[in-house]
Structure 1
Amino acid sequence: MEKIKVQDSVGAVLIHDMTQIIPGVTKGPRFRKGHVVREEDIPILLSMGKEHIYVWDQNPGLIHENEAADRLAKAACGPGLTLDEPKEGKITFTAAHDGLLYISEDGILALNSLEYIILATLHNHRPVKKGTKVAGTRVVPLMIDEKVILEAERIAKTFSTPLLEVRPLKSFKVGIVTTGNEIYHGRIQDKFGPVLRAKVEAWGSEVLKQTFASDDISLIQNSIQDHLDQGADMILVSGGMSVDPDDVTPTAIKEMGAELISYGAPVLPGAMFLVAYINDVPILGLPGCVMYSKTTAFDLFAPRLLTGERLSRRDIVKAGHGGLCLDCPVCSYPHCSFGK
């Protein structure tokens, strides 16, 4: 540490808290450890009876925690996020709008593997609202070797996507095809439609229309094609997704020439979930649990599609880690382990 005159301390970094006492008004830290002295602080320090103060030695190559945190946060920050001002070496990332949080898990690991670097986040693909705190970063020491921060900045640039970002959900035109002889012939009331419509609209999209098809492959295919012809950006096909002989929805989708990504997902509820594409239009086969379970595989993957992401089989199978819903009496998703 170094003892210097207050008048010469602009730009210096305080080595300890400095208490200000104003009788009957306040008693507490006026300047915190790590504070960088500014010109306007000089009169205050003098009024506190400080002629000299103790500061960190200004060794070449070392930078203050606030500057380090600022550079670290900017290196990791992508679109859809705002950063607050550094305070005691800490910066918070906040969602700038509603959307889905995307995190480069490998990127976060690489940064945290550097000595003295801390970057803590929420889980990947979590739905967030504007103003949600999604991450925080800081460095451990008050002064850190700039080489560490330069390496963090270099690492962040090696990834093709930002380490953290919030992607907004796009507004899709969604077609619904509800299958099943019992519904098609009016023997029972459709329960899928109201549930799907509510979810689609909550995500900011619109239902183009809902059509009904019996357990007939050609009729299901005609219904899907009709939605495609009318410009659907996504098609939801509900019912007929189990392995019973008369459940023909997966067969109908595959035999249309769709690119099948996955039939089955390591998620409970939602194991019989199907993802396919006809050109760039996602076709989702929805199992019966979507009707009665508040959160299923459908809720994990559909928002990702609404950001414009194209899902791969690897994306689906990775959901097995955290893919077990605990069926809590009061659902608190996404504030739980499901899908994490």
Structure 2
Amino acid sequence: MFGMIETKTALGAILAHKVSAEGRTFKKGHKLTRENLSFLVSSGISLVTAHRIEPDEVDEESAADLVSRAIGAEYMSIAPAVGGRMNFYSQENGLFVADKKLVDIFNSIDHAITLASLADRISVTAGEMIATVKIIPLAVPRLAVEAAAAVAKTGCMIKVMPFRRHTASLVATQLPSLSEKTMSKTARILGGRLMERNSLLLSETRVAHSAEAVAAALRVEIETRPPSDHMIVVFGASAVVDKNDVIPEAIRLAGGVVERVGMPVDPGNLLVLGRVGDIPVIGAPGCARSSSENGLDWVLDRLIAGDHLDGLDISRLGVGGLLKEISARPQLREEPARGAHFLDEEAVSA
């Protein structure tokens, strides 16, 4: 029961607001004791705004703890409840995954019980906060807490998929217009991307910008690399503009399957995803020559974390897929205003 309560009868009630008197302060959420009541009455405070916990209710701290423990904590740590809130933290660098439908059901059980999280399938680092449970009032019905906990146990509402160690090979095509400096920088930036995800760039192979040359390089990689936890990234000297362009055609010539040409993430639209046997082959967009976030990052996150990714999955990335522009791209989304300056530090020459 919430409301104004006579101070002398408020034993065990939970304060809804801070109360101060004669140099002492009782904070919101404080459970009133006999000594507290005697002091407050003697200080002239005859009424307090508080919540008296009923037998069929659970206080905010216990409610937060009960529902949070039901959510599970694989590769996550949970901080103790404070003020009806419990925070979840990632214990690994990896991919955060949320089941939006299940979270929506959880949040619809009772307005007093809430779960907020990061966006689904976003990369996280060890120690990063990924979700928080907050109980809104000072106490909630026990039946609501039990219902929320039951929903949490029906599936995996939130989880962290750690980045598993992968290896990668780089196949890069050459044209006279593409400088040695740019190609070396591309390999260095790709290597950095992989290291951030607990993975390693093993080799770089440079070939002519033709489907036949790329296919031959792919065949060599397939024959010499282990099929598990390995991928091939192809950087074309010229951007892919058609499903029959150099990179997708090379994947087919090597005996592979092209799953997607183009993705609804920008920068990153011109990415190609395919497979030769069990080895993923990624045709990287030109913007990935920059270290700025782009569609390649999203694909690497999911593949290296062991998440399922195919053409249909990529088609569903459009909402949230409009990323910060990379100013040095050859073709920007819109013409910059006269005199505008960009913050991007790295140039993209292909």
Task: Please say if 1:237 is aligned against 2:234.
Answer: yes
Give the counterpart of 1:225 among 194, 213, 219. Answer: 219
The aligned counterpart of 1:80 is 75
For the 8 Å contact 2:15–2:31, the answer to whether it is kept is: no
Residues in 1 aligned to 2:245 and 2:175: alpha-carbon distance in whole angstroms? 10
Of the three residues 270, 286, 290, the one matched with 1:288 is 286
AA at the equivalent of 1:249: I
In structure 2, the CA distance between the partners of 1:278 and 1:61, relative to structure 1 (3 Å rule), is: farther
Asked if 1:90 is matched to 2:85, the reply is yes
Q: In structure 2, what is the equivalent of residue 306 of structure 1?
A: 304
The residue type paired with residue 152 of structure 2 is A
Q: What SS class does the counterpart of residue 141 from structure 1 fall into?
A: coil
- Secondary structure at 2:102 match in 1: helix
Contact 1:174/1:208 (<8 A) preserved: yes
Which region of structure 1 is more displaced relative to structure 2, 323-332 or 112-121? 323-332
* Secondary structure of residue in 2 paired with 1:87: coil
Task: Give the conservation status (yes or no) of the 8 Å contact 1:119–1:137.
Answer: yes
The verdict on how the C-alpha distance between 1:313 and 1:47 changes in structure 2, with shifts beyond 3 A counting, is: same
- Provide the rounded CA distance (Å) in 2 between the counterparts of 1:114 and 1:262: 39
Looking at structure 2, the residues matched to 263 and 325 of structure 1 have their Cα atoms a distance apart, in angstroms, of 19
Structure 2: distance between partners of 1:238 and 1:122: 31
CA 1:109 to 1:284, structure 2 compared with 1: closer, same or farther past 3 Å?
A: same
Q: Are 2:170 and 1:172 equivalent residues in the alignment?
A: no
Instruction: Tell me the equivalent position of 1:140.
Output: 136
Where structure 1 has 5 or more consecutive residues not aligned to the other structure, the ranges are 333-340
Q: CA deviation at 1:28?
A: 4.7
Please give the residue correspondences for 1:19-38 in structure 2 after superposition, counting only pairs within 5 Å: 19=19, 27-32=23-28, 34-36=29-31
Structure 1 length as normaliser, TM-score?
A: 0.79
- Classify 1:21/1:289 alpha carbon distance in 2 versus 1 (closer, same or farther; 3 Å): same
1:148-189 deviation line (CA, Å, top 9, x unaligned): 122212222332xx21222221121111111234489x8886
2 CA distance for matches of 1:140 and 1:70?
14
In the aligned structure 2, how far is the partner of 1:225 from the partner of 1:122? Answer: 40
Please name the residue that 2:255 is paired with. Answer: 257
Name 2:333's counterpart in structure 1. Answer: none
User: 1:74–1:314: structure 2 CA closer, same or farther, 3 Å change rule?
Assistant: farther
Instruction: Say if 1:50 and 1:77 are closer, same or farther in 2 by CA, change over 3 A.
Output: farther
Q: Point out where structure 2 has 5 or more consecutive residues left out of the alignment.
A: 327-341, 346-350
Q: What is the number of residues matched between the two proteins?
A: 317
Percent identity over paired residues: 24
The alpha-carbon deviation at position 252 of structure 1 amounts to: 1.0
Partner secondary structure for residue 320 of structure 1? coil
Maintained 8 Å contact 1:181/1:213: no
The residue that corresponds to 2:274 in the other structure is 276
Identify the residue that residue 201 of structure 1 maps to in structure 2: 195
1:207: Cα distance to partner? 1.0
Structure 1's 107 and 272: CA in aligned 2 closer, same or farther, altered over 3 A? same
In the alignment, which residue of structure 1 is the partner of 2:145?
Answer: 149
Q: Distance in 1 between matches of 2:276 and 2:243?
A: 25
Displacement of 1:212: 1.4
| 1:330 CA drift (Å) | 3.5
Match of 1:337 in 2: none
Give me the whole-angstrom Cα distance separating, in 2, the residues matched to 1:276 and 1:324. Answer: 23
> Normalising by structure 2, what TM-score?
0.77
